[in-house]
Chain A
Amino acid sequence: MAERLDRHRVAIATGLFAAVLLVGALTQFLPRLTRQGEVVSNTPVRSDFAAVQPIVLEPGARVCLGDVTFDPAVRSAQLTFAPSATGSAPTRLTLEAFAPGYRASAATEIARGQGGRLDIPFAPPRRGTIGTLCVRNSGARTTALAGTGDPRALTRSAIVVDGQRTGQAFSVTLHEAGGRSLLDRTGQLADRTAALSAVGPWLVWLLLPLLLLGVPAAVLVALRLALRDPDPPAANAQADLGRSSRRDRQ
């Protein structure tokens, strides 16, 4: 009878454990893993929320960032306009990217009163390279890009004037083609993780099943083994909170 009860409680505990994991996976993890979104290729200069510095571009002015990485998968550059940029007249921006053996440019019109972010598509290099990214105001109205003067954001790229780095930069994020979910990008995420670790992607691939299957299974087996051990009799005062009768002598 007691054995049947024990089997019963092991089965219910196992079911509960699995149900909580399943509900969590289906309601929290799966939607996020299958949602399609933008894919960052690289962030030459991060966005700063607290202290946005406007980088003012007069008509015809051009600002360039040095030491920018262009990956073959890059498709567009995302710029952010400073709040003061939302004027009444339309204007035009030209993006130029160049490195040894690589040159690309693209122009785009900023709509009347447009603020916030703007994606400018441009052609990628054939292979990864490090070069310069410029933005030119080819319109007739002054505009301003959101930028930063935080030294932590400028460790790689900063605006270069007459070959000299200045203490500020416009924020820019390079994107790959979007429309892929995290699940589709598992291989890419493993490669990126391994790139900044001393171990190769093999460890990431090994960890994936261990995390998703091994960890839940091991916790469940530990619990099941424990539940197969009969509880001490309820009347046993030593069952909880220890005892003083097992006193060791020095």
Chain B
Amino acid sequence: MNAVTGLARARRAPHAIGHRSRTLAGRIRRTPAPLALLLAVTAVLGLAWSVVMPPFQGPDESDHFAYVQHLAETGSAPSSTEFSGAGSYSTEEGRALDLLGLRATLANPTARPMWSEVDQRRWEQFERELPANGRSDGEGADPAAKNPPLYYAYESVAYRLSPDTSLFGRQLVTRLASLLLLLAAVALVWVAISELTQRTWARVLATGVVALQPQLSFIGTIVNPDILLVAIWTAFIALAIVTLNRGPTTARVLGLFALTALSPLTHGRGIALLPPLVAVLALIWLRHRPARRDVVRWLGGGLALLGVALIAFRLYTSGNGGGALYGGQVAAFQQHSLNVREFLSYLWQFYLPPLPVLEQRLGPPYGFRQVFIETFFGTFGSLDVRLPGRVYALLQVGSVLGLVALYTAAVVRWRELRARWDLLLALLAVGLTGIVFLHVVSYLALVGGPDPIVVGRYLLPLIALFALAVTFVATSLPRRLGPLFAAVVLACGVLLQLAGLGLTVIRFYG
């Protein structure tokens, strides 16, 4: 099958597509073979991560699962502030953490979970004798309960639908529900890049970069709202590109509003999608000059969507007795004021060595290497499974060279870029807003304490931009070198994935 067909062909000849081909089966059949292969790779890697990572060992996964379980069992979220019932975890989850050593293993690489037969038998007996309320009594305080409910509501459906009602059965099913979001994100990157280039190998490169990013695969196969945020932001980026390319329609513009409304309903960090929405809408208007009547209609509908989302969120948080607006991110803005000079000093020292004229560094020596390299490319478990130091060093060199190459390519292809100033500005708006927001939150956290808060997985909602940047560099190389560059990048992705999985096996079961 010609790989350019599928989505691209469907766009060129919309009238040729019959009703039948619009069905799901028709869409699946039209999936380009390279995309289908990359989705299969994502699924296999995701399944492997979800099996290899012991229960509750992802970042705060025990808290997130406790939220899902309580919501699924009782229909209400646990409290984020008040201790009641069995506490943060249900009796079932709490005993699993204790009896099977799953609490002791968190963030401590000397500990192993209890895998022996005798421990398993004891656990199975405990599950058989679990009291009736043993799954629903984790009433709080659960730190994850300050998060908005969207992801947890999605996962609670998976929890209820699980054919295996044991704790680990349900945990695996909720992890696999996360994997569906990861698959959606990978497919959306294909949609985004297909709008930008007709070179199939470039589409494979961009989609492969996302499918093979080990940190994303890991986060996409544990119970953690970050993966829904990734899917929403990736959808927003893809839809923004489609809308700027082809012009606005009611569905497209309202889609952008809807995604922006869903983003803060997923996580506090999701609020950072609001400025890019404003920027993209302005760019759509500048580029396409839609009729005033349409603009009023779209804005009316879109603002209503955002309003409904905000009201739903406020009702929800006031109903469950806790939860600062947008997961406490906004509260941080209220508690500390931004000192511009100090912020710029922090920003400089985040990326570059300190200068004598700068103020003393805020917080620990934590910056570009830790956030953009180590915890972005691959730090697994509860930050306790790390790639070898030389691998991080190579990734850092590669990333810096990549940035230089990106700048060079932008200069060389400036006329091309200038012709698509709307796309360029839209993508820059998403990327810069996401990164600046994280820096401001991190700075405000450091003003109040020693924890910089930000880790590389918080950059994953921008993974589509990362993939587009890598692909832009590849397509800027001499015609013969681009595909070879793609081959090397994809091979490195495979190696990183296998290394991450292998190190996880050694850390927990070796």
Contacts and interface: CB of A to CB of B under 8 A. Distances in A.
A140 interface: no
A21 interface: yes
Interface in A33-72: 39-43, 45-48, 69, 71
B495 A193 contact: no
B41 interface: yes
B112 A203 contact: no
A28 interface: yes
Contacts of A167: none
Interface string B353-377: 0000000000000000000000000
B116 A226 contact: no
Interface stretch (B79-87, B95-103, B325-333): B95-103
Interface string B387-404: 010000000000000000
B490 A69 contact: no
Contact of A21 (B171, B248, B494, B501): B494
B115 interface: yes
A25 B479 CA distance: 29
A78 to B, nearest CB: 10
Given A219-B212, A250-B249, A21 B198 contact: no
B491 A21 contact: yes
B197 A248 contact: no
B201 A46 contact: no
A204 B115 CA distance: 15
A215 B44 contact: yes
Overall SS of chain B's interface: helix
A153 interface: yes
Interface string A165-178: 00000010100000
Contact of A20 (B110, B241, B475, B491): B491
Interface centre among B197, B416, B490 (most CB of A within 10 A): B490
Interface centre among A41, A189, A193 (most CB of B within 10 A): A193
Given A21-B491, A196-B168, A222 B484 contact: no
A116 interface: no
Given A21-B491, A211-B501, A69 B38 contact: no
Interface in A7-37: 9, 12-14, 16-18, 20-21, 24-25, 28-29, 32
Contact of A195 (B2, B115, B166, B196): B115
B198 A232 contact: yes
A152 B384 CA distance: 16
B108 A48 contact: yes
A235 interface: no
A195 B506 CA distance: 15
Contacts, number: 262
Contacts of A47: 108, 110
A211 B47 CA distance: 10
A71 B483 CA distance: 53
A86 interface: no
A130 interface: yes
Interface residues of B, number: 101
Interface in B459-510: 475, 479-480, 483-484, 486-488, 490-495, 497-499, 501-502, 505-506, 508-510
Interface string B235-264: 000000100111111100000000000000
9 closest Cβ pairs, A-B complex: A46-B111, A20-B491, A128-B118, A155-B98, A226-B200, A222-B34, A13-B487, A198-B169, A192-B509
10 contacts: A13-B487, A21-B494, A32-B506, A42-B112, A46-B105, A156-B99, A215-B494, A231-B198, A241-B417, A250-B249
Interface of A: 9, 12-14, 16-18, 20-21, 24-25, 28-29, 32, 39-43, 45-48, 69, 71, 127-130, 152-153, 155-156, 171, 173, 182, 189, 191-199, 203-204, 207, 210-212, 214-216, 218-219, 221-223, 225-229, 231-232, 234, 236-244, 246-250
Given A28-B495, A128-B116, 15 more contacts: A9-B484, A21-B494, A29-B502, A42-B114, A153-B108, A173-B110, A192-B509, A193-B51, A218-B40, A219-B490, A223-B208, A226-B204, A231-B198, A241-B416, A246-B246
Interface of B: 2-4, 11-12, 33-35, 37-38, 40-41, 44-45, 47-48, 51-52, 54-55, 97-101, 103-106, 108, 110-120, 122, 164, 166, 168-169, 171-172, 195-204, 208, 212, 241, 244-250, 287-288, 294, 388, 416-417, 419-420, 423, 475, 479-480, 483-484, 486-488, 490-495, 497-499, 501-502, 505-506, 508-510
